[in-house]
Chains A and B, each alone.
Chain A
Amino acid sequence: MLHSKEFVRILKSAGYDFFTGVPCSLISDVILSLEKDPSVPYIPAVREDVAVGLAAGAYLGGKTPCILMQNSGLGQCLGALASLNLIYRIPCLLIITWRGHDGRDAPEHEVMGKALPRLLDSVRLPYKRLTHKNAHKAVGWTRQVISQEKVPAALFITKGVLK
């Protein structure tokens, strides 16, 4: 397993310097670690689309933002990603927990769990799945997408990857 603190360290060393989002239990230690970290801000957002707006403003202001959310929250912010980030080319890293990916989760995760990759495909948002082995490479890839294509890049996190 990948330690949450180590994951935060990888994100920071890749240049992410503004964090916001809405929690999921799968990333609770990542958020805890960010909240304790005096070197970067973590702003708890009231909703995922507000997090997208905040991150867009941070980018305009010179930051490289990262948003953390559960896949249920992608439904809240897909419109904002489409009609803000993708048309203006305002990038960010989206760390999305993939609840319901194997069909064995709470009922509220069933539909979004199945649809997640196709939802991002449908608006042409690039994504990769984070594993305990590929963190450096996957985070590095997101930085490349962000600086070259200037679109959001997503990392999916399933249960058991982070500790």
Chain B
Amino acid sequence: MNITQAIKIIMRHLGDELLITANGRISREAFAINDRTENFYMLGSMGLASAIALGIAVNRPERKVVILDGDGNLLMSMGILAQIARLSPKNLVHIVLDNEVYNSTGNQPTISAQVSLEDIAKSSGYTKVAKVTARGTLETTLKKCLNARGPSFILAKIKPDNMPKGLGRVTHTPIEIKERFMSGINGEKRD
């Protein structure tokens, strides 16, 4: 599966879950596919989508929090796996879209082809860890993780492709993203 297909599948299964998306193509795709009140598009601060999500998850235990992370992002801040596992929020689902490249900057290789990220998540202490390669298994695994006690970790292996030419940037300003997301945390809906 490619990254667009994976994000479409994931977003189809989200209800009122809070979604934190990693910078670059992942945020742009999520914005283009379904621009929800509950989406927080991280535009900069590469590596920290998972940390932001963790900060939300521990403070809002009543809300399910989903991270749409990338392999480049995770490798950049790998200590976050230990940090998440140590705090062990049961309302957190950490999805890593692993295409083994820095997609947004022109497909330069990361090192995830040689690193078993799912094993590191497992030994760090995530409650549930899965590696998926097919669309169907992504779907079934995600459904299970959304209903299971977390923190869970899904490594989705993605076939690298070029970022679509027409894929635009997130058009909301950062302040708009924040304000709308905060209203989403409190259960409101906004355009």
Contact = CB atoms under 8 A, between A and B. Distances in A.
Interface of A: 18, 41, 43, 45-47, 49-50, 52-63, 65, 79-80, 82-84, 87-90
Interface string B38-58: 001011110111111111111
Contact of B174 (A43, A55, A87): A87
Nearest to A80: B45
A138 B4 CA distance: 49
B54 A54 contact: yes
Contacts of A84: 42, 44-45, 48, 52
A58 B55 contact: yes
B36 to A, nearest CB: 15
Nearest to B181: A60
Interface size class of B (residues with CB under 8 A): 20 to 34
Nearest to A90: B178
Interface string B66-97: 00000000000101101100010000000000
Contact of B175 (A46, A65, A89): A89
Main secondary structure, interface of A, reads helix
B40 to A, nearest CB: 7
A57 B83 contact: no
Interface in B1-33: 20
Contact of A52 (B48, B53, B181): B48
A54 B50 CA distance: 9
Main secondary structure, interface of B, reads helix
Interface string B163-191: 00000000000110110011001000000
Nearest to B61: A61
Given A45-B83, A53-B51, A61 B59 contact: yes
B60 interface: yes
Nearest to A56: B52
Given A60-B56, A84-B44, A89-B175, A46 B87 contact: no
26 contacts: A43-B87, A45-B83, A46-B82, A47-B79, A49-B47, A49-B48, A52-B51, A53-B49, A53-B55, A54-B52, A54-B55, A56-B51, A57-B51, A57-B56, A57-B59, A58-B56, A60-B56, A60-B181, A61-B59, A80-B44, A84-B42, A84-B48, A87-B43, A87-B174, A88-B174, A88-B178
